[in-house]
Amino acid sequence: MGGLVKELDEIDLKILHEIQEDGRITNVELAKRVGISPPPCLRRVRALEEEGYIQGYRGLLDPGTLGFDVTVFAAVHLSSQADADLRAFEDFVRGQPLVRECWMLSGEVDFILKCVAPDMATFQDFVSHLTAAPHVQNVRTSLVLHNSKYAPAVPLELKMPQG
Domain boundaries, the chain: 10-59, 70-143
Q: Which of 51-60, 78-87, 102-111, 154-163 has the lowest mean pLDDT?
A: 154-163
Q: Alpha carbon 47 to chain centroid distance?
A: 22
Fold topology of 10-59: Arc Repressor Mutant, subunit A (1.10.10)
pLDDT in tens, 83-95: 999 999 999 999 9
Give the global pTM: 0.86
- Output the pLDDT for position 26: 98
pLDDT of residue 1: 44
Q: What is the pLDDT of residue 163?
A: 58
Q: How far is CA 53 from CA 13, 47, 48, 101, in A?
A: 10, 9, 5, 20
Nearest residue to 17 via CA among 158, 112, 141 = 158
Contact 44, 31 (CB under 8 A): no
**Confidence at 137, pLDDT banded by 50, 70, 90:** very high
CB atoms within 10 A of CB 157: 10
**CB contact at 8 A, 80 and 30:** no
CATH 3.30.70.920 given to domain 70-143? yes
Mean pLDDT over 63-83 rounds to 96
Mean pLDDT value across the chain: 94
